[in-house]
């Protein structure tokens, strides 16, 4: 559970606290309704792809538990959330002071037929939030025991961040493109037949191929994007401004790289949520879309598809300070090339 402040100057705290959340609770004052801060919170929740959203209309006791006011807030926020692509929104009228609809159903709001907040949090189903379609296994550590009985043991330890891996499955190593099959899967409990997200495991391969920390094991028929150039939405977290052409350290899954900011496509006005073009630098708490080039190819999915393989951080190489959190955008395919069949010169 992360309690993040809602003021605009603490945007970086919100991004950090919400980056791994499955559910976000947004509080609305029933007397004020949907305000700029509410929209900003919802935008950040959509940017971070938080799959479940709860809008708690608080201080219902101060408006006499009026159903019409609550329904108006619900309709206004629903329209805004739909524009952001937020699909799962639950509305719960509450009074934190009086305890209405917090733990138990409130007798003062008989018109509300949903569960209280605590029961909803306990019952919300999050298993479907995991990406079980795209097998992804970033290698964190290569295990080579220095004991005679394990002389030939070579395992690749890490966390499954997408999909399912079975014994005997063919796998491809990125970025090298070499292939093999899974000979065995180990956990602290011993050998198992399959590993799925978000399990930590050690994979053993049939072939002795070159694999090191930062490589990613995937299925040959289901590979992520592999490139040095991409665009991403970035929240800048440093008082030191970001400028085009500056080089930073980049941490993506278990791979460390260096990168350069090629361009600032636009910055998001955090109050109006409109893009602003022609930006030369970013300041603390700014959110913008950047074009980035890395010194090595990265194997990634769009953040909207996989929050683990689509997220990264930027690092100050001199101080090792985290400067920004980034969410990789879906690459835009190049336009089709014209065909010149039948032409003679």
Q: In this predicted structure, what is the pLDDT of residue 154?
A: 92
Residue matched to tokens 């990168």: 259
Residues in the chain, overall count: 345
Crossing angle of the two packed helices 11-18 and 36-47, in degrees rounded to 10:
40
Superfamily for 8-127? P-loop containing nucleotide triphosphate hydrolases (3.40.50.300)
Which pair of tokens denotes residue 190?
Answer: 């011993």
Question: Cβ–Cβ contacts within 10 Å for residue 205, how many?
Answer: 20
Instruction: Give the pLDDT confidence of 237-268 residue by residue, as tens digits.
Output: 999 999 999 999 999 999 999 999 999 999 99
pLDDT of residue 344: 56
133-177 residue pLDDT tens: 999 999 999 999 877 777 788 999 999 999 999 999 999 999 999
Alpha-carbon distance 117 to 109, whole Å? 14
Task: Place domain 225-328 in its CATH homologous superfamily.
Answer: Translation factors (2.40.30.10)
Neighbours of 22 (CB within 10 A): 12
> Under a CB-based contact definition with an 8 Å cutoff, are residues 175 and 296 in contact?
yes
pLDDT band at 13 (very low <50, low <70, confident <90, very high): confident
State the pLDDT at residue 333.
67
Q: Which fold has domain 136-218?
A: Elongation Factor Tu (Ef-tu); domain 3 (2.40.30)
Query: What digits encode the pLDDT tens for the residues 285-320?
Result: 899 999 999 999 999 999 999 999 999 999 999 999
Give the model's confidence band at 236: pLDDT under 50 very low, under 70 low, under 90 confident, else very high: very high
pLDDT, tens only, 102-123: 999 999 999 999 999 999 999 9
Which tens digits make up the pLDDT trace of 190-231? 999 999 999 999 999 999 999 999 999 999 999 999 999 999
CATH 2.40.30.10 residue ranges for the chain = 136-218, 225-328
**Residues 212, 176 contacting (CB under 8 angstroms):** no
Give φ, ψ of 218 to 5 degrees.
-140, 175
Residue 119 burial by CB count (10 A; 0-12/13-18/19+): exposed, middle or buried?
middle
pTM of the model: 0.86
Q: Which of 73, 66, 75 is nearest to 27 (CA)?
A: 73
């Amino acid at each position: 559970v992360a309690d993040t402040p809602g003021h605009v100057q603490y945007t970086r705290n919100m991004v950090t606290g919400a980056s791994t959340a499955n559910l976000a609770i947004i509080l609305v004052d029933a007397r004020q309704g949907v305000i700029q801060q509410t929209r900003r919170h919802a935008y950040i929740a959509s940017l971070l792809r938080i799959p479940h959203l709860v809008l708690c209309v608080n201080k219902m006791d101060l408006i006499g538990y009026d159903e019409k006011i609550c329904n108006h807030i619900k309709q206004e926020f629903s329209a805004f959330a739909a524009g952001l692509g937020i699909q799962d929104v639950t509305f719960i009228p509450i009074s934190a002071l009086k305890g209405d609809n917090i733990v138990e159903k409130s007798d003062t709001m008989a018109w509300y037929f949903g569960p209280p907040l605590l029961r909803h949090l306990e019952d919300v189903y999050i298993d479907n939030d995991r990406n079980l379609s795209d097998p992804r296994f970033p290698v964190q550590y290569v295990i080579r025991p220095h004991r005679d009985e394990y002389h030939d043991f070579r395992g690749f330890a890490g966390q499954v961040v997408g999909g399912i891996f079975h014994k005997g499955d063919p796998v491809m190593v990125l970025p090298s493109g070499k292939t093999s099959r899974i000979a065995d899967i180990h956990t602290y409990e011993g050998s198992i037949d399959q590993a799925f997200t978000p399990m930590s495991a050690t994979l053993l391969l049939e072939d002795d191929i070159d694999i090191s920390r930062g490589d990613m094991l995937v299925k040959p028929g289901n590979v992520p994007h592999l490139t040095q150039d991409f665009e991403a939405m970035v929240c800048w977290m440093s008082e030191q401004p970001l400028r085009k052409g500056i080089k930073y350290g980049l941490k993506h899954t278990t791979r460390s790289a260096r990168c350069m900011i090629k361009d600032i496509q636009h910055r998001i006005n955090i109050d109006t949520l409109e893009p602003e073009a022609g930006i030369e630098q970013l300041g603390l708490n700014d959110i913008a879309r950047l074009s980035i080039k890395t010194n090595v190819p990265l194997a990634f999915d769009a953040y909207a598809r996989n929050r683990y393989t689509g997220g990264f951080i930027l690092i100050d190489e001199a101080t090792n300070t985290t400067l920004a959190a980034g969410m990789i955008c879906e690459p835009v395919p190049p336009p089709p090339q014209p065909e010149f069949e039948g032409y003679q010169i």
